[in-house]
Amino acid sequence: MALKRGVYLICGLCSLALGLLGIPLPILPTVPFILLAAFCFARSSDSLHRWLMEHPWFSDALSQWESARAIRKGLKRKAYIVSGLSFALSIAIVPIVWVKFMLLFFAIGLGLYLRNIPELED
């Protein structure tokens, strides 16, 4: 049992780190990693799970996801805007053509993923 909790804890910490890196980096999506961190912390550490669920940056989105499997329309709009600007800047800066296409592919994939997430009214 302790080994299983340890694995969940390590996965949760890695997911949280990747989610936090995803805030400024366009290639890493923040939301799935934060959701995975919450899942892992719920199975490994009550204090980290509570901290994440009460954190000012993530608490609203996590509680809405937990209760309704959906996010607010405004949060979804912010995700579109920030992701779009981030990918556009990255595509403009990168000099290698194949990397530009790869970033465009990731941007389209993220947009399709966001579009499929159910919305809650603000």
Q: Which residues pair with 120 in a beta bridge?
A: 72
Query: Do 80 and 114 share a domain, yes or no?
Result: yes
63, 53 in Cβ contact below 8 A?
Answer: yes
Same domain, 5 and 63: yes
Q: Which pLDDT value is given to residue 1?
A: 76
Question: Do 25 and 59 have their domain in common?
Answer: yes
91 in helix, strand or coil? helix
67-115 pLDDT, tens digit each? 888 888 988 888 888 888 888 988 999 999 999 999 999 899 988 988 9
Decide: helix, strand or coil at residue 72.
Answer: strand
In this structure, what are the phi and psi dihedrals at residue 60, rounded to the nearest 5 degrees? -60, -50
Q: If 0-12 CB within 10 Å is exposed, 13-18 middle and 19+ buried, where does residue 11 land? A: middle
27 and 65 assigned to the same domain: yes
Residues 3 and 52 occupy one common structural domain: yes
Query: Do residues 36 and 57 share a domain?
Result: yes
From 44, 49, 50, select the one nearest 5 (Cα to Cα). 44
Domain range holding 35?
A: 1-69
- Each residue's pLDDT tens digit, 22-44: 888 766 778 788 889 999 999 99
Same domain, yes or no: 58 and 90: no
55, 90: one domain: no
Question: How many Cα atoms within 13 Å fall on the side-chain side of residue 63?
Answer: 10
